[in-house]
Amino acid sequence: MSDRNAIIAAWICSLPENASKGTNCPPTITKKRRRQPQQLTSPPASVDETMASTPRKRRRTSTADPDSTPRPAISGDSIHRSNTTSSTTSSSRASHISSRASSPKKQMLNLRLHEPVLEFNALTLSTLPPAARKLVETITEIGSNQDILPHAVKSSIMESVHAHDPMPRLWRYAFKPAADDNADMLLPGRIPPFQEVERICRKANECQQYDHEEASWNCSVHARLLELILEDEDGRPCNEFDAMICSTTARLHHTWKPIWSPGKMIDICLYHASISQDEDLRAKITQFSRLTPTGTVNHTDFYPISMRPLVLSIETKKPGVHWEAAQLQIGIWHAAQWAFLRWAVADKLRRRSMNDNNEGEDGGGNDNVDKSQAQAPAPQTEHNATEAEVLSVMSKLGFIPGVIVQGHRWHLVLSTYEDRKTKLWADRQFGSTQTCLESYSVIAGIRQLTAWAKDIYMPWFRLYILDND
């Protein structure tokens, strides 16, 4: 027998007699307190040192199956760390779930109560913002399927209507007088052929009948219809505007997102696409983008439009669901856009003021400098004057339109910036992809909204944000 075995045998013989009895009697367990098993005496220190490399065998303290798979013991520290981590994770998860589980209605209420304020209002004739009256009237007329197509395409479209549409009488008011054709030609975009529009309607009805997901609607119907309007047969922009799907990556920059709102994205955007053909505009956009927190010309750092001004935002949902969520999403998006524009206007005014002050200092001697300093307005007075000028510039834009698409139906919404509040106004339906006639109403509405971007938004954006004084 080796010396080690002899030492072990000697230690076993030295154990008290009642220790062996204790191994046959499991400890008594009560509901209130677990009785600890009797501890064995330790071997001599010399034995402990000799057996340092030998694993110790713990006595079984429960009635578990001896043939069960051994499990590693969990220390008290590990349990504490696990509980702490679990508690922290659970708390974080609960907060995240609570934020996501909050209904759109509750989120809308919170946004009304905290600055920067975002309010949601019904778009009615009595509450219509004056600046938007002309556009809303035009969109309302388009929604009635009247005067939506130029007279020049009447013969070709009606030929297809009589061949494919079971109710051709509905088209009798769809065409404008011939005298209006010149004005129609000035609108951005084009009138797609009847066969292409009919194909969109078939896709849309397929999506509804078989309950397609929102992404399928976006790719097969909404984006495709916008391409027919804004692009030619070769896929190039007809004018200076185009559209793209941006639902998965176009996130708001945290600088502009309302504090009490979740981060929201939109699904489709229209943007100014002719930067490559306008070197002056491209240079100004590049210079401006160097100053913005996003490093882009927009309130999002979405790369595909980083150098292309966003002019129209579109939020989409499946048919008949999530209407309030759609308003919430595009409302938050518009609030961030207004905050971005306000910052850009204020930053330009601040830089202009600094340049004016520097020129004044360089143009005179010490006496002139002292005199200008003595006559300098108080900081609060200067701030109030700048604030008034910012609000005056913002009021010149008036409003920003947007679109919510719910299945087949296309709705106009618009936002205004008044008294340091963003207000979203909803809605006016202006078309549907259920029928070809209503799809042409969508086409007419998008052309009018793009005309607003061309005639109102881009000139304002150039003058008050991009241009150097």
What is residue 5's predicted lDDT score, i.e. its pLDDT? 66
Q: Which of 75, 47, 48, 70 is nearest to 60 (CA)?
A: 70
In this structure, what token pair is assigned to residue 90? 């659970």
| pLDDT score of 468 more than 90 | no
Report how far residue 230's alpha carbon sits from residue 309's, in angstroms, rounded to the nearest whole number. Answer: 16
pLDDT of residue 256: 85
Q: Is residue 174 part of a domain?
A: yes
**Inside any domain, residue 89:** no
Mean pLDDT of 387-400: 95
Give the range of the structural domain holding residue 153, as residue numbers without chain letter. Answer: 119-356+401-466
What pLDDT is recorded for position 91?
Answer: 39
Q: What does the pLDDT look like over 198-243, one tens digit per residue?
A: 999 999 999 999 999 999 999 999 999 999 999 999 999 999 999 9
pLDDT category, 319, cuts 50, 70, 90? very high
Considering the domain boundaries, does residue 379 fall inside one? no
At 115, the pLDDT band (50, 70, 90 cuts) reads: confident
The answer to the question of residue 42 being in a domain is no
Task: Give the lowest-confidence range in 32-41, 104-113, 165-174, 455-464.
Answer: 32-41
Question: What is the edge-to-edge ordering of all strands in the sheet holding 400-406?
Answer: 118-122, 421-432, 409-418, 400-406, 310-317, 268-272, 241-245
Q: Which pLDDT score, from 0 to 100, does residue 17 have?
A: 55
Whether the pLDDT of residue 34 is over 60: the answer is no
Mean per-residue pLDDT, 261-272? 87
Look at residue 50 and tell me if it is in a domain.
no
The whole-number pLDDT of residue 265 equals 87
* H runs (alpha helix) in 26-121: 45-50, 76-101, 104-113
The per-residue pLDDT for 52 is 42
The per-residue DSSP string of 244-257 comes to EE-TTT-BBPTTTS
Cα separation of 336 and 108, whole Å? 15
Helix residue ranges, H only, 186-232: 194-209, 214-217, 223-230
Give the global pTM: 0.76
Residue at 71 is within a domain: no
Cα distance between residue 238 and residue 397, in whole Å: 26
Quick check: 85 pLDDT over 60? no
Burial class (CB in 10 A: 0-12, 13-18, 19+), 345: buried
Asked if residue 425 belongs to a domain, the reply is yes
Stretch 19-43: mean pLDDT: 48
Is residue 129 in a domain?
Answer: yes
| Distance (Å) of CA 374 to CA 354, 363, 368, 370, 371 | 17, 17, 10, 6, 5
**Per-residue tokens: 445:** 């509405």
String of DSSP letters for 412-456: EEEEEEETTEEEEEEEEEEEESSSHHHHHHHHHHHHHHHHHIIII
Q: What is the sign of the dihedral through the CA atoms of 255, 261, 266 and 272?
A: negative
Report whether pLDDT(7) > 80: no
Q: What angle do CA 91, 94, 96 make, to 5 degrees?
A: 110
Residue 122: helix, strand or coil by DSSP? strand
Asked if residue 339 lies in contact with residue 256, where contact means CB atoms within 8 angstroms, the answer is yes
Number of domains forming the structure of the chain: 1
